[in-house]
């Protein structure tokens, strides 16, 4: 038995009182969970302490909270691990972010998380009448969506999403990862329509700021940001969907830029992302950016010469790589979640694999060993 | 020590002062830079978003070129390069069949990547290879009374397992440790590990600038004299776009943003002008004032 101090953020909006922190002592073995600590407090000290929980086995996704500032499932976070990561000797427990608090550690999942899940039409939309017997789906196709299917809807990724923090309308990591589950499923007949919808939405796939917080937060190795990038790859490279948010244009401009110069030429990239230097979309953008452009020129950060001319040209070897890879009939993709990592003797750090590598978690990552090597995608 | 040096694109483009200041301080730290001048852009995540094999091939080529030099490891000066390259390297190192397939793309050029290359950002190299104690001995102008906010950039701190960040190797505290070792005061503020907003500047400008503006505002509220970042893309959003970020968050900002080698250079006795600070969009007045007062105090 050991003693742990839980410093819990208390808040009851109905009371009219401001939120406050309250510390409680718990006595439990260190391998027991933060959730058990909270339930002991509720049982012995204050029955009004509110937390949502059910399975206690990291599968129902109910007990998402922030432990020491980071989103976690309370049920698979060991007390001793939380203690070792605690500042000032107290384990802090607070409600998840980006969602309104209903009471204490319970957030309103309906108002944010579930609303966003609904937004992406989370059911199959098959083409034509259903087959007489069951649908026959190739094994690789199901393996391909396994990672997004591993989501337990706990909201940890939503809690830490930095895009949602500045743009609450962002569809967000959990819902977009779920969207890949349907876009990647051959039984669904609306792949292009789904992708067009998510690309055209100003708060859709191109609103992700690439901060990796959702990958870090997910207790199940779903890597929502990687699923968002796969949606972009499908929308841009496969379906060539021209969206109003400059997402596809930016990607195309970047790739063209590197193919031509080998190194990024920023002065071309920005106007090309809007459609080219003389495009009507570009002019207002440049005018809007005048305060920055003027100062950059004044300080000689950028000179007219290096803005207009780019001395660096891509070598023929780099161009050949572009031609070879882009000329393949099928795009190759290699997902470590699916393939796992080979154990080779010369490998420094060969135990690493994408997904949680988390000493505090009672449940480990869900890496599936379902065939190795790269997967072929349409091109 | 000798390193295969990958400066990245932006350090030679819109933040030339980064490449310049690295070149200035390398001899002072006994680092010999063997520049990988044939290597191409890391893709900054965007090429991988377009075509994963293409990004993996371009970076495998960079790694193979680094392995051809006689440097012990590869060094970069850009958080985004670090993150994008580590992501590709993770895939390349994980599977022999995949590595062979990518190496086949390089065969025409006679290049091949063998797993095991160490690729470290200058920040990691300073702490892990040079060591903060050795660095302290080289400091001739401790950054006393200079209040510095660390700004890491996403790609160098997440995901922690891919970047080998753990208790034994707390790379997510190195910037804090470094500011302290150079004699500066570390400022605790909300933005240190957050996103500068740069990746969505062309897609959602308002959200992007709001991110930059908030972090700068938080650092000002914590009375920082400047921020320091190992990421030139963060520098673009925090410095170059700061006049627009001001407009977006509706407050006056004007906080100088330093590149990591510039901060190290100051402590090694170089002056702001030698480190290219005149090229910043936000004039680093507080840093220049600090430097002037230190020089005046020493005289």
pLDDT in tens, B219-235: 999 999 999 999 999 99
Q: Work out how many CB contacts closer than 8 A connect A with B.
A: 229
Q: Tell me the domain boundaries of chain B.
A: 2-121, 130-298
CATH T-level topology, domain B130-298: Rossmann fold (3.40.50)
Separation CA B276–CA A70 (nearest Å) = 38
B179-223 pLDDT, tens per residue?
A: 999 999 999 999 999 999 999 999 999 999 999 999 999 999 999
Percent of chain A residues past pLDDT 90, beyond the cut: 70
Please compute the mean of the pLDDT values over residues B84-113 and round it to a whole number: 97
Any A CB within 8 A of B9 CB:
yes
pLDDT in tens, A22-38: 999 999 999 999 999 99
> What is the spatial distance between Cα B42 and Cα B121, in angstroms, rounded to a whole number?
14
Residues 195-224 on A with a CB inside 8 Å of B are 202-203, 206-213, 215-216
Burial of B223: CB neighbours in 10 Å, binned 0-12, 13-18, 19+: exposed
Binned at pLDDT 50, 70 and 90, residue A311 comes out as confident
Distance CA A273, CA A252 (A): 8
Of A194-198, A330-334, B124-128, B224-228, the range with the lowest mean pLDDT is: A330-334
- pLDDT for residue A128 is more than 70: yes
Instruction: Using CB atoms, pick whichever of B38, B51, B98 lies closest to residue A326.
Output: B51
Please tell me if residue B194 touches chain A, with a CB cutoff of 8 Å.
Answer: yes
Q: What Å distances lie between residue A256 and A62, A262, A263, B63, B156, CA to CA?
A: 46, 10, 11, 22, 26
What is the pLDDT, as a whole number, of residue A356?
Answer: 43
**pLDDT of amino acid B299:** 67
For CA atoms A153, B162, B41, A335, give the dihedral sign.
negative
Task: Please give the CATH superfamily to which domain A110-244 belongs.
Answer: Alpha-helical ferredoxin (1.10.1060.10)
CB A132 within 8 A of CB A180: no
DSSP SS3 for B186: strand
Nearest-angstrom CA–CA distance, B284 and B281: 9
- Which residues in chain A have their CB less than 8 angstroms from residue B65's CB? none
pLDDT at A73 over 70: yes
Q: Report the pLDDT value the prediction gives residue A158, as an integer from 0 to 100.
A: 98
pLDDT in tens, B124-180: 999 999 999 999 999 999 999 999 999 999 999 999 999 999 999 999 999 999 999
pLDDT at A255 over 70: yes
Give domain B2-121's CATH architecture.
Up-down Bundle (1.20)
Q: Count Cβ atoms below 10 Å from residue A235 Cβ, excluding itself.
A: 29
Q: What's the CA gap between B126 and B193, in Å, rounded?
A: 20
The pLDDT score that the predictor gives to residue B97 is 94
A339 neighbors A299 (Cβ within 8 angstroms): no
Asked if A371 and B180 count as a contact pair (C-beta separation under 8 A), the reply is no
Nearest-neighbour CA in chain B from A130: distance (Å): 34
Judged by average pLDDT, the poorest of A59-63, A128-132, B274-278 is: A128-132
pLDDT at residue A378, as a whole number: 60
- Measured in Å, how far apart are chain B's first and last C-alpha atoms? 34
Which residue from B minimizes the CA distance to A299?
Answer: B279
CB contact under 8 A, A264 and B98: no
Task: Indicate the range of A18-22, A127-131, A250-254 predicted with least confidence.
Answer: A127-131
Q: What is the pLDDT of residue B297?
A: 82
Distances A44 to A37, A48, A74, A256 between C-alpha atoms, Å: 11, 11, 19, 65
Residue A309 has what pLDDT? Answer: 76
| Residue of chain B with shortest Cα separation from A229 | B49
- Closest partner CB to B279 (pick from A216, A301, A333): A301
Residues of A in contact with B241 (CB under 8 A): 292
For chain A, which residues make up each domain, given as ranges?
2-106, 110-244, 247-326
How crowded is the C-beta side of A112, counted as CA atoms within 13 Å? 27
**Structure token pair of residue B232:** 């030139």
Interface ipTM: 0.96
Tokens of A298: 């004044």
Q: In this complex, do A246 and B203 lie within 8 Å of one another by their Cβ atoms?
A: yes
pLDDT of residue A349: 45
- Here the tokens at position B102 are 């990518």
Residues B24-76 have pLDDT tens digits of 999 999 999 999 999 999 999 999 999 999 999 999 999 999 999 987 799 99
Confidence of residue A354 (pLDDT cuts 50, 70, 90): very low
By C-alpha distance, the chain B residue nearest A270 is B202
What is the pLDDT, as a whole number, of residue A372? 59
A4 touches chain B (CB under 8 A): no
Which ranges in chain B belong to alpha helices (H)?
16-25, 46-50, 52-68, 79-94, 96-106, 122-125, 132-138, 174-181, 205-221, 232-235, 242-249, 260-267, 285-298
Interface of A with B in 269-328 (CB under 8 A): 270, 273-274, 288-289, 291-292, 295-296, 299-302, 306, 314-315, 317-318, 320-322, 324-326, 328
B215 inside 8 A of chain A by CB: no
Q: Is the pLDDT of residue A366 over 70?
A: no
CB B101 within 8 A of CB B134: no
Closest chain B residue to A323, measured at CA: B54
Q: Which residues of A touch B160 (CB under 8 A)?
A: 216, 357
Q: Is A336 on the interface with B (CB under 8 A)?
A: yes
- The pLDDT, as a whole number, for residue A342 is 75
The mean pLDDT value for A346-359 works out to 45
A354-363, B263-272, B278-287: least confident range: A354-363
Q: Answer yes or no: do A233 and B49 touch at CB < 8 A.
A: yes
pLDDT band at B15 (very low <50, low <70, confident <90, very high): very high
- Classified as helix, coil or strand, A133 is coil
Q: What ranges make up the beta strands (E) of chain A?
A: 2-10, 20-28, 64-67, 70-73, 91-94, 101-103, 106-107, 330-333, 375-378
What kind of fold does domain A2-106 have according to CATH?
Answer: Ubiquitin-like (UB roll) (3.10.20)
The whole-angstrom distance between A81's CA and the closest CA on chain B is: 12
Smallest Cβ distance to A250: which of B154, B203, B240? B203
Only one residue has tokens 């401790």, namely B142
* Best residue of B202, B208, B275 to probe chain A, by most A CBs closer than 10 Å: B202
Q: Which residues of B touch A215 (CB under 8 A)?
A: 158-159
A190 contact partners, CB below 8 Å, separation of at least 6: A125, A127
Which residues from B are below 8 Å from A292, CB to CB?
240-244, 281
Average pLDDT over residues A314-331: 95
B101–A contact, CB cutoff 8 A: yes
Out of A201-215, A226-240, A329-343, least confident range: A329-343
Task: Please give the full DSSP string across A293-329, using - where no structure is assigned.
Answer: HHHHHHTTSS-HHHHH-------HHHHHHHHHHHT-S
On whether any CB of chain B is under 8 Å from the CB of A36, the answer is: no
């Amino acid at each position: 038995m050991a003693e742990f101090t839980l410093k819990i953020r208390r808040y009851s909006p109905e009371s009219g009182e401001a939120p406050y922190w309250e510390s409680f002592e718990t006595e439990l073995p260190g391998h027991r969970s933060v959730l058990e600590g909270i339930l002991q407090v509720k049982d012995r000290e204050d029955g009004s302490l509110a937390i949502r929980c059910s399975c206690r086995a990291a599968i129902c996704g109910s007990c998402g909270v922030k432990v020491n500032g980071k989103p976690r499932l309370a049920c698979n976070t060991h007390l001793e691990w939380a203690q070792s990561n605690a500042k000032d000797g107290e384990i802090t427990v607070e409600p998840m972010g980006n969602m309104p608090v209903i009471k204490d550690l319970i957030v309103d999942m309906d108002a944010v998380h579930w609303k966003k899940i609904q937004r992406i039409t989370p059911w199959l939309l098959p083409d034509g009448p259903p087959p007489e017997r069951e649908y026959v789906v190739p094994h690789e196709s199901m393996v391909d969506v396994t990672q997004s299917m591993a989501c337990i809807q706990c909201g940890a990724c939503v809690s830490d999403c930095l895009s949602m923090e500045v743009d609450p309308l962002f569809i967000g990591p959990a819902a977009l990862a779920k969207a890949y589950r349907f876009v990647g499923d051959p039984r669904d007949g609306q792949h292009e329509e789904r992708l067009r919808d998510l690309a055209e939405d100003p708060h859709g796939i191109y609103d992700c700021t690439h901060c990796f917080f959702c990958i870090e937060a997910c207790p199940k190795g779903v890597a929502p940001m990687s699923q968002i990038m796969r949606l972009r790859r499908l929308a841009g490279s496969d379906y060539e969907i021209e969206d109003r948010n400059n997402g596809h244009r930016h990607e195309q401009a970047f790739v063209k830029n590197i193919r031509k110069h080998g190194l990024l030429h920023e002065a071309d990239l920005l106007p090309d992302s809007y459609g080219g230097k003389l495009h009507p979309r570009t002019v207002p953008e440049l005018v809007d950016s005048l305060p920055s452009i003027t100062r950059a020129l004044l300080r000689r950060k950028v000179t007219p010469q290096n803005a207009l001319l780019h001395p660096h040209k891509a070598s023929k070897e780099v161009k050949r790589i572009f031609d070879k890879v882009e000329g393949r009939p099928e795009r190759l993709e290699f997902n470590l979640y699916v393939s796992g990592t080979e154990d080779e003797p010369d490998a420094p750090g060969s135990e690493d694999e994408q997904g949680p590598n988390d000493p505090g978690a009672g449940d480990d990552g869900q890496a599936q060993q379902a065939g190795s090597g790269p997967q072929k995608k349409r091109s | 020590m000798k390193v295969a040096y990958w400066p990245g694109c932006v350090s030679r483009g819109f933040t030339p002062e980064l490449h310049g200041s690295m070149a200035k301080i390398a001899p002072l730290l006994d680092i010999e830079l063997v520049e990988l001048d044939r290597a191409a852009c890391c893709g900054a995540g965007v090429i991988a978003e377009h075509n994963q094999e293409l990004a993996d091939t371009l970076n495998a080529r960079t790694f193979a070129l680094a392995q051809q030099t006689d440097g012990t490891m590869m060094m970069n000066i850009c958080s985004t390069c670090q993150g994008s390259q580590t992501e590709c390297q993770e895939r390349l190192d994980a599977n022999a069949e995949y590595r062979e397939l990518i190496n086949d793309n390089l065969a025409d050029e006679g290049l091949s990547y063998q797993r095991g290359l160490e690729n470290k950002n200058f920040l990691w190299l300073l702490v892990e290879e040079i060591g903060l104690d050795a660095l302290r001995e080289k400091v001739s102008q401790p950054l006393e009374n200079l209040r510095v906010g660390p700004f890491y950039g996403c790609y160098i701190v997440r995901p922690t397992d891919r970047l080998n960040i753990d208790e034994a190797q707390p790379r997510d505290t190195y910037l804090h440790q470094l500011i302290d070792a150079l004699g500066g005061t570390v400022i605790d503020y909300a933005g240190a590990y957050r996103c500068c907003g740069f990746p969505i500047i062309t897609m959602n400008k308002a959200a992007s600038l709001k991110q930059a503006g908030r972090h700068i505002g938080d650092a000002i509220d914590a009375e920082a004299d400047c921020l320091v970042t190992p990421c030139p893309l963060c520098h673009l959003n925090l410095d170059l776009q700061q006049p627009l970020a001001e407009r977006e968050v509706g407050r006056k900002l004007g906080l100088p943003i330093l590149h990591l080698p510039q901060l190290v250079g100051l402590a090694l006795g170089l002056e702001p002008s030698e480190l290219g600070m005149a090229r910043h969009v936000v004039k680093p007045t507080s840093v220049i004032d600090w430097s002037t007062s230190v020089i005046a105090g020493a005289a």
